[in-house]
Structure formats: structure tokens, C-alpha cells
């Protein structure tokens, strides 16, 4: 297993702790965040999608043009673009930047956000549509001859693309529901999870593998590391993050309805067991925001956070999607973390990535307030990146 690190790029800097400032598209920032990730040793950056987001294909092209080896993981919601068109768009981007483009399929768990783009289908229907959609996309990429397709949602006659990827474009897939696991098990090259406790990730890996029925599926976990030189300094940063998130929560809490998202419910269930799970998985931001997105953190020294990331690797996770609460500064800072994880993974196993069994996969909780009270008072603000 080769470890892959994915960061996050957007048109301007904003997060739970940083209010957006200035135009939605700031070309200098996008180029800087892309180059910072490349210099820090990341393999790709995620370009997210929502009903209000800028065009991801344009952002992806700008990121790829500004860097030499960094790849993009471009999120896409099936249902708004014909699958044959989507396949050609990705294949065209890949032709200019071979091997640096991947598709992240987000079926959509927020009915209100889907409706903003005119989609009023329910979640089970959306997942059936995604299944049909990906069948056509794959065939468009692979077929050198015209083909027909008759599905529940898509029918094509004599479909043929003049541009096809020389190497397969990886398909990443997100979702936590039973429908998501069924469709993702069928189509995903990489199945992506939010940062649950180790026991939850182990459970979900087993579920996806069962749904994959022998297909070789890799796995990704998304986390928000808060590392520092010492554990005390890291918890000071975490306290800053929580305070700033609480100050801003009214600004963004209503933008996404996470009540129907199974992934959000799973994060909140973990948060209900304690503010800290599995030694250092911190759930306070997820609890504050209603888990409306990737919102669990790993808090500790660089070495401690690296070891906690490797606990997920030992479960079979090969991709680590990590992004910070100060996106630019944290992307730069994560270079140390990326290096440590890779070095320790190589040192642990001579085969470079055949992970050893997990040290633990049971939930252990402790009080965030009690732990913070034992730690030092050095101040390390996450604001101002």
C-alpha cells in the first residue's frame, strides 16, 4: 500500500474559524495554496462542490497549471451533467495533465442544497441515479467503439468519445448510508470516510468490502489535524479553534442541513461518547457545527498525530485527506506531518505499506476539559494565515 496525502484547495481562504474576505475567486491565493501543498509533499488537493461553489473544472485546471506534479481530486454531483459529457470533461482535463486527475463522486446528502440547483429527488433515487451515471462514465472512458446504454436514468445510442484517458481515472466515492455502500462498493476505486473512531472505520471497511464482492477497493479517511511541537501547545491551538468556531457558528450553521446525512450522525454519535476518543480524536468542533462536514481533529505533538494517523493506516486506509482550520498556514505546516507519517510507515514495515495490525480499535474516551486543564498555557493561534 502506497500512502497518499490529499489536501484542500479553494478560490479563497475560509474555514470554520476564518470568515471569508474579498472576492470568491482570488487567483493568487489559489495558486499559492496549490504550490504550498506541492511543496509540503501532498499528492492531490480536493476541490469541493456545492450548489454555490465556483466551477470546479476551472479551479482544477488552474491548480494543475500552477504546479508540476500535484494532482486534483475533483468533486462532482451526478444528475446535473450528462454522464457522457462528464466523462469527456474529465478525459480532456487528464489529456492536458496526464495521471493527475481523479473524480470524487458526491451523491448529495443535503436535500436543500440539491434543490438550489433544481434537483428534488430523494436520497435513494439519487443513489440509483449515481449507479447508472457511473456505469455510463466508465464505459465512455473505456470504449473504443460506439455503445448503447439503457438504464433507469440514462439512455444513449452510439455513444463514443474522441478523448479517453490513457490510464484509468480513479473514482473516489463518499457516503455512509446503506445505499452509498451498495453503490460505492460497486464502482469506487477509493471509498472515502470522515474521521470516525477506529472501531467505526474498521466496521465501515468491512461493510464496503462485503459490498464490493471481491473488487479491490482502497480506503480514505478525512481528518483535521491540529499538531504542534508539544501536546500542550496543540491543545492551546485546539482551544483557539473551538472558541473561534463557536463565535462564527451562527454564520454558517444553517448553510447545510446535516440532519439526514448518515455520516454526520455517525460523527455526532462519536462526539456523544466524549470530547476525545481513541487517545486524541477530538470531536468538539463536530459537536459545535452539527457535524456539517469533515470536522473531527487529531490533536497532539507532530509525533503523536503521526502515530494516530498510522493507526488508520494499520486498519487498511491508504489515503489520508487532511486539511486545517487555517488552510494556508496549516498546509505549509503539514509538511512535517506528511514526512513523519511516511517515514514511520516505511520504518514499521519493510514492504512499505503492508500495515501491521492496529494497536487498538476500541473506543476509549476521556474528558476534554480535564485533559486541557493538565496541559500548559503556551498560546498558538490558528488565525491569520
For residue 134, CA distances in Å to 91, 125, 171, 216 come to 14, 14, 9, 17
Quote the distance between the C-alpha of residue 143 and its chain's center.
30
| pLDDT bucket at 349, cuts 50 / 70 / 90 | low
**More confident: 256 or 95:** 95
| pLDDT bucket at 292, cuts 50 / 70 / 90 | confident
Model confidence pLDDT, tens digit, residues 236-252 = 999 999 999 999 988 76
Give the pLDDT score at 97.
98
Q: Is the pLDDT of residue 5 over 90?
A: yes
Closest CA to 129 of 146, 153, 109, 110: 153
Give the pLDDT score at 129.
98
Model confidence pLDDT, tens digit, residues 137-170 = 999 999 999 999 999 999 999 999 999 999 999 9
pTM of the model: 0.89
Closest CA to 80 of 129, 138, 147: 129
Give the pLDDT score at 251.
78
Q: Is the pLDDT of residue 217 over 50?
A: yes
Helix (H) or strand (E) holding 37: helix 27-40
Give the pLDDT score at 351.
55
Q: What cell was used for 130?
A: 449515481
Contact (CB, 8 A) for 111 and 177: no
Which range (264-278, 327-341, 367-381) has the least confidence? 367-381
Contact (CB, 8 A) for 309 and 344: no
Task: Dump the DSSP string for 182-207.
Answer: HHHHHH-SEEEEE---HHHHHHHHHH
| pLDDT bucket at 259, cuts 50 / 70 / 90 | low
Amino acid at each position: 500500500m502506497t500512502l497518499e496525502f490529499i489536501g484542500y484547495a479553494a478560490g479563497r481562504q475560509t474555514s470554520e474559524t476564518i470568515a471569508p474576505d474579498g472576492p470568491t475567486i482570488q487567483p493568487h491565493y489559489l495558486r499559492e495554496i496549490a504550490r504550498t501543498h506541492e511543496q509540503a509533499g501532498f499528492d492531490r488537493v480536493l476541490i469541493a462542490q456545492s450548489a454555490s461553489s465556483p466551477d470546479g473544472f476551472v479551479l482544477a485546471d488552474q491548480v494543475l497549471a500552477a504546479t508540476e506534479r500535484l494532482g486534483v481530486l475533483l468533486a462532482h454531483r451526478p444528475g446535473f451533467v450528462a454522464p457522457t459529457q462528464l466523462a469527456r470533461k474529465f478525459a480532456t482535463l487528464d489529456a492536458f495533465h496526464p495521471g493527475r486527475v481523479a473524480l470524487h463522486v458526491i451523491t448529495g446528502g443535503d436535500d436543500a442544497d440539491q434543490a438550489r440547483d433544481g434537483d428534488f429527488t430523494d436520497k435513494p433515487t439519487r443513489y440509483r441515479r449515481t449507479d447508472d451515471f457511473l456505469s455510463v462514465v466508465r464505459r465512455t472512458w473505456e470504449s473504443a467503439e460506439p455503445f448503447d446504454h439503457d438504464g433507469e436514468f440514462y439512455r444513449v445510442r452510439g455513444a463514443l468519445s474522441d478523448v479517453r484517458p490513457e490510464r484509468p481515472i480513479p473514482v473516489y466515492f463518499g457516503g455512509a448510508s446503506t445505499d452509498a455502500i451498495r453503490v460505492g462498493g460497486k464502482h469506487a476505486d477509493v471509498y472515502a470516510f470522515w474521521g470516525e473512531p477506529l472501531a467505526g472505520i474498521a466496521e465501515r471497511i468491512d461493510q464496503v468490502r462485503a459490498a464490493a464482492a471481491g473488487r479491490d477497493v482502497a480506503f480514505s479517511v478525512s481528518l483535521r489535524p491540529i499538531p504542534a511541537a508539544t501536546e500542550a501547545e496543540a491543545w492551546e491551538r485546539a482551544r483557539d479553534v473551538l472558541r473561534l468556531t463557536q463565535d462564527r457558528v451562527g454564520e454558517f450553521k444553517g448553510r447545510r442541513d446535516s440532519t439526514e446525512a448518515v455520516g454526520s450522525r455517525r460523527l455526532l454519535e462519536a462526539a456523544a461518547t466524549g470530547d476525545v476518543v481513541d487517545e486524541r480524536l477530538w470531536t468538539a468542533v463536530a459537536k459545535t457545527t452539527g457535524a456539517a462536514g469533515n470536522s473531527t481533529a487529531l490533536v497532539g505533538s507532530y509525533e503523536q498525530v503521526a502515530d494516530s494517523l498510522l493507526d488508520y493506516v494499520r486498519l487498511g486506509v491508504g489515503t489520508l485527506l487532511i486539511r486545517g482550520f487555517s488552510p494556508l498556514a496549516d498546509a505549509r505546516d503539514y509538511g512535517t506531518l506528511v514526512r513523519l507519517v511516511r517515514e514511520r510507515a516505511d520504518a514499521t514495515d519493510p514492504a512499505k505499506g503492508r500495515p501491521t495490525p492496529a494497536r487498538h480499535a476500541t473506543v476509549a474516551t476521556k474528558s476534554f476539559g480535564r485533559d486541557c486543564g493538565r496541559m500548559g498555557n503556551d498560546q498558538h493561534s490558528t488565525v491569520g494565515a
